[in-house]
């Protein structure tokens, strides 16, 4: 089992070539190093260098502190982006495994490898046009793109779309001519919109709205259960992404076990079917038990 190792920071600083060290210092002064992420036993971050953005990775491979950056510099000779990332990680007290795996060394599926090969054959302009065009057509992809670029703020855009989906679902059976297919369509719309919502920064308002969506779907799922012989959608097909989003938001908002248990108990009191799988919250609830878990209910 790989163990964490301690880095001699001063020795690392002394080993950096002067030119590389000066560029790394500029990147740090300019705030060019983004949020650190653990990856493959090492650390990576987005680094903005003038008008370009890179994602260097640093870690210990075969007992050697190694860098891997998409600026083109890899191996023992660290680029300024990797050095700036390493210094940021040292300052933050990041943990390094003694046997890390660089991103480029990780195994990929044949399908993934094929797409990587296709990307490498495109010019930067072709790739840019392709990505931008797809973002216009696909709101989830657009949200993920903006998030990766650090351009997605905690605004209300995702919330507004999801709120509309919840409101539409809550009224789908109020018409005298509604059909089971209308319930299924509303459910799939909720599932698609909650995925987009969770690509945005987590907010308490988003969590509250997801809880409302769970209650709305719980009520609608009763119609699917009654008409099971003609439905094409199982209630859990919609419940799972909704409840999964709820759990995800609880974790991202760093709610306490008490807060999560209280929210779950309120959900269970408002629902009448097996919509919420309380077991998926087990690691977040620790010693707390949800009052109605295991009984007939939401």
Q: What is the largest CA-CA distance in the chain?
A: 77
Torsion of CA 164, 191, 157, 134, to 10 degrees: -120
Query: What is the mean pLDDT of the segment spanning 38-42?
Result: 89
Interatomic CA distance for residues 57 and 82, integer angstroms: 6
The answer on pLDDT for 104 being more than 80 is no
Please report which confidence band the pLDDT of residue 294 belongs to, taking 50, 70 and 90 as the band edges: very low
Interatomic CA distance for residues 279 and 105, integer angstroms: 36
Could you please report the per-residue DSSP string of 210-231?
Answer: HHHHHHHHHHHHHHHHHTTTT-
pLDDT (0 to 100) of residue 272: 93
The answer on pLDDT for 129 being more than 90 is yes
Tokens matching residue 48: 């903005």
Please report which confidence band the pLDDT of residue 124 belongs to, taking 50, 70 and 90 as the band edges: confident
Q: What is the mean pLDDT of the chain?
A: 89
Q: How far is CA 109 from CA 10, 42, 55, 101, 116, in A?
A: 40, 22, 22, 17, 11
Query: Dihedrals φ, ψ of 17, to 5°?
Result: -55, 145
CB atoms within 10 A of CB 153: 10
pLDDT digits (tens, 9 = 90+) for 56-99: 999 998 888 889 898 876 556 899 999 999 999 999 998 888 88
**Which position has the higher pLDDT, 233 or 108?**
233
pLDDT digits (tens, 9 = 90+) for 130-186: 999 999 999 999 999 988 887 877 555 689 999 999 999 999 999 889 999 999 999
Query: What is the mean pLDDT of the segment spanning 224-249?
Result: 96
Helix, coil or strand: residue 181 = helix
Query: Dihedrals φ, ψ of 95, to 5°?
Result: -100, 135
- Single out the residue of 244, 236, 246, 230 nearest to residue 275, CA to CA: 236
Chain Cα centroid distance, residue 218: 26
């Amino acid at each position: 089992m790989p163990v964490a190792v301690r880095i001699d920071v001063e020795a690392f600083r002394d080993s950096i070539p002067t030119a590389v060290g000066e560029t790394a210092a500029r990147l740090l002064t300019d705030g060019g190093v983004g949020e650190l992420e653990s990856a493959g036993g090492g650390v990576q971050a987005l680094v903005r260098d003038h008008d370009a953005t890179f994602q260097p990775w640093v870690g210990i491979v075969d007992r050697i502190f190694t860098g891997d950056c998409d600026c083109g510099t890899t191996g023992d000779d660290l680029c300024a982006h990797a050095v700036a990332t390493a210094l940021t990680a040292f300052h933050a007290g990041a943990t390094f495994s003694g046997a890390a795996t660089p991103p480029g060394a990780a195994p990929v599926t044949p399908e993934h490898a094929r797409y990587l090969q296709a990307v490498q054959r495109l010019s930067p302009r072709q790739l840019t046009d392709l990505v931008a065009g797809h973002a216009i057509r696909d709101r989830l992809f657009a949200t993920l793109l903006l998030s990766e670029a650090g351009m997605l703020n905690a605004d209300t855009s995702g919330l507004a779309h999801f709120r509309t989906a919840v409101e539409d679902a809550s009224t789908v059976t109020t018409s005298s001519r509604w059909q089971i297919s209308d319930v299924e369509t509303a459910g799939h719309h909720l599932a698609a919109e909650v995925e987009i919502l969770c690509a945005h920064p987590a907010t308490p308002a988003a969590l509250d709205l997801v809880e409302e969506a769970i209650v709305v779907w719980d009520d609608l799922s009763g119609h699917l259960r009654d008409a099971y012989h003609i439905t094409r959608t199982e209630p859990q097909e919609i419940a799972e992404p909704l409840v999964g989003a709820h759990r995800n938001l609880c974790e991202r908002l760093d709610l306490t076990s008490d807060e999560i248990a209280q929210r779950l108990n309120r959900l269970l009191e408002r629902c009448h079917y097996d919509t919420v799988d309380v077991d998926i919250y087990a690691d977040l609830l620790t010693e707390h038990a949800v009052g109605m878990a295991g009984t007939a209910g939401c």
